[in-house]
Structure 1
Amino acid sequence: MNKKIIALAVAAAAFGTQASAVELYNQDGSTFSIGGHVSVSAKGNMGDVAINNDKGITTGYSDGSSTDIIANSPRINFTATQDLGNGFTADARGEWALNYLDGGANAFTTRLGYIGVTHETFGRAVAGTQWSPYYDIAGIADMPIAFANDFLYDNHGALGTGRAENMVSYRNDIQLGDNLSIFGGLGIQDSQTGFDSRGQVSLGANFADFMVGYSYNAGDRTDGLTTKEEAVSHALSAKYGSYGNGLYVAAVYTMNEYMHGTSNYNTGSNTGEVLSDSDGIEFIAAYAFANSLNLSINYEAVEGNDKSVVDGTVYSQMAFQAEYNITPTFVTFAGYQLDLGNDQNEKENDMWNIGVRYYL
């Protein structure tokens, strides 16, 4: 694991990937910091909204557009690091989602909780709820604040496509030259209700500003099914650049069996049926100017290849978005998402989102 990667790994553990945290303690090889962000935005739909019964079956539609004040995935985290000597560094993180708008009883819900150990040569091992090796490959288009990569979050905790629960993982990066490195990761998840134990492997290469990667994710599933089936996903991805720094282009393509349902998180559609065969597509192109204005366009679709559920488009959408850093920690954002249609007899529903985010 080269020095650049180990530095990034420890920094991500200590401060997060989008903004620095507040370091409260740093002495004798130990640090402790607090980070996260809070957001408030207005989010609205421009069409009719699906009405679902208690089984998730669409029974009708409400009339007209609507606007809600939402929090856009706020979180708070606490991170500690410790120099163990001989090149080893340990870190521990707890992160919780915040519910601060509606006064709900679940003010805090767990997002992350893990312990990791990193070494420049031997790599990084992590145990707990964490971002998975699969997400290292498939999450490269999941960048904008307002709209991005819904299909990764379909049962992502149990399937290990996003924040994987009960996971032990290992990652390493091998530098082959000044501009070339290869990286890989392994992950194993314990069984959960409706999901047997799962495994995943990721492999990729960085060359200058380019990255290409592949990940395989598999394990048996009964959740949402009448029989036990193996839920499998193959993810391919490629990117150029760094999001928020000049030109950034990324694309993700996934081939799946029993991984996704007929859901669209932005429209509220959820029939509760699992697709035996589906493909996911995500593409983003962004350009950040020197004044920090970041403009982007992204496209996402899930295609079903299951004649008994959906043989065609589950959903497809395109978003135009802008983000602007007033200061390094205070960001304004706006996005408009076009619903490009589906083959589920769901009405199209364009959406918009505008707000502010403050990074701790």
Structure 2
Amino acid sequence: MEIKMNKKLLALAIIAVSSNAVAVELYNEDGTTFDIGGHVSVALEGSDEGDTGLTAVSPRINFNATHELGNGFVADAKGEWALNYLDGGENAFTTRLGYIGVTHADFGRAVAGTQWAPYYAVAGVADMPIAFANDFIYEDHGNLGTGRAEEMLSYGKMFEMGDAGKLGVAAGWQGRKTDSDSNAEYGNRAQIALNYNVAGFSANYSYNTGDVNYATKLKSVTSESHVISGTYGIYGSGLYVAGVYAMNENMNTDAALINKLIEDSSAYEALVAYALDNSLNLSLNYESVVDNDASKTVYSTSAIQAEYNFTDKFVGFTGYQLDLGNDYNNKEDNKWMLGARYYL
């Protein structure tokens, strides 16, 4: 099987979203490839309540490899690190991703390591703009498996159904662990995800569950989430619309200084974007988290943003995020950002 065909196979089989938009291929021979990717992103940011200054916008570098194992199996490996290049210090690199995967057209794909979780393929459909995007997913996402899930074993398979579309099925598991920073104890965690795509539309569902004994709690609680989402189009190509609704238990915290765990919360995310033929991509998004037991809005924001591709590797972006208020008497703080991203 040719290398190009294997790359297409990997792209179809991986349900989790890849963070490697652009890469430089360094090696491609005898069934093995190796490339380097990532981006350097810097922006000027400010807010009503804060000072104006430079910030790094999720910069990273990654190494990616694939290798044909024979009989239609393809192995791949990825290592990705966040870059800290503005304020220096000892932690110049911190781990974002690190995994090994094996893919087969008929048998699906298995991945072991720190990876984008199957849950994120459902909840992250509106997490697209560079400047301001999703927040609720990333609360303790490594341990809870809602974003870049740490120490996860996952399996996924895509079923092609011709004119009826595609159905993706995935599952993930994380073993017991104790967080070294918070001393919280996490039990075995499991999640499933379903993705259905047809005629440019997608409908998605994921369930995530597991017990956690937080250091501030006297006993373990079940942290679980049901999330549904839908999309139309492809972000960065014409019209793209996405909506997300999550029903969470012990997954989010309130806006008070004590960061109290919310027993029953709902999260909402919506995104409408339109990319013009001249590579200008305009978007409007909305996000909020609600404490259902207290009937309080934890936070709510909306942002208007623009991204322009000067070239395939160089993107300019800007955004203004409105703080739509909360029920905790926290002062509203509108934010803005203007920056550039260079893909390696």
2:79 is equivalent to residue 94 of structure 1: yes
What is the TM-score when the length of structure 2 is the normalising length? 0.93
How far is 1:133 from its partner?
A: 0.3
| Shift in CA distance, 245/283, structure 1 to aligned 2, threshold 3 Å | same
Contact kept? 2:20, 2:38, Cα under 8 Å: no
**Structure-2 residue corresponding to 1:149:** 134
What is the TM-score when the length of structure 1 is the normalising length? 0.89
| Shift in CA distance, 17/96, structure 1 to aligned 2, threshold 3 Å | closer
The equivalent position to 2:277 in structure 1, one of 271, 287, 290, is 290
**Structure-1 residue corresponding to 2:181:** none
**Runs of 5+ in structure 2 lacking a partner?**
179-183
2:287 is equivalent to residue 300 of structure 1: yes
| Shift in CA distance, 331/7, structure 1 to aligned 2, threshold 3 Å | same
How far is 1:179 from its partner?
A: 5.1
2:114 is equivalent to residue 129 of structure 1: yes
Deviations 1:142-197 (A, max 9, x none): 00000011000000000000000010000111011135111110000112222111
**Runs of 5+ in structure 1 lacking a partner?**
48-64, 264-268
Structure 2 counterpart SS, 1:152: helix
**Structure-2 residue corresponding to 1:228:** 220
- Aligned pairs (5 A) from 1:71-90: 71-90=56-75
| Shift in CA distance, 236/10, structure 1 to aligned 2, threshold 3 Å | closer
TM-align CA RMSD: 2.0
**Structure-1 residue corresponding to 2:301:** 317
- 2:193 aligned partner, one-letter code: S
**Structure-1 residue corresponding to 2:342:** 358
What's the % identity of the aligned pairs? 56
Aligned mates of 1:5, 1:183 — CA distance in 2: 16
Aligned mates of 1:152, 1:248 — CA distance in 2: 20
Structure 2 counterpart SS, 1:272: coil
Aligned mates of 2:8, 2:251 — CA distance in 1: 31
- Aligned pairs (5 A) from 1:189-268: 189-193=174-178, 194=184, 195-223=186-214, 224-263=216-255
Structure 1 counterpart SS, 2:11: helix
How far is 1:45 from its partner?
A: 0.9
**Structure-2 residue corresponding to 1:41:** 43
Deviations 1:281-325 (A, max 9, x none): 000000000111000000000001233xxx310000000000000
The equivalent position to 2:171 in structure 1, one of 176, 180, 186, is 186
Q: Which moved more, 1:280-289 or 1:194-203?
A: 194-203
Aligned residues: 333
Structure 1 counterpart SS, 2:143: helix
Structure 1 counterpart SS, 2:292: strand
The equivalent position to 1:8 in structure 2, one of 1, 6, 11, is 11
Contact kept? 1:185, 1:202, Cα under 8 Å: yes
Aligned mates of 2:152, 2:14 — CA distance in 1: 21
Contact kept? 1:98, 1:109, Cα under 8 Å: yes
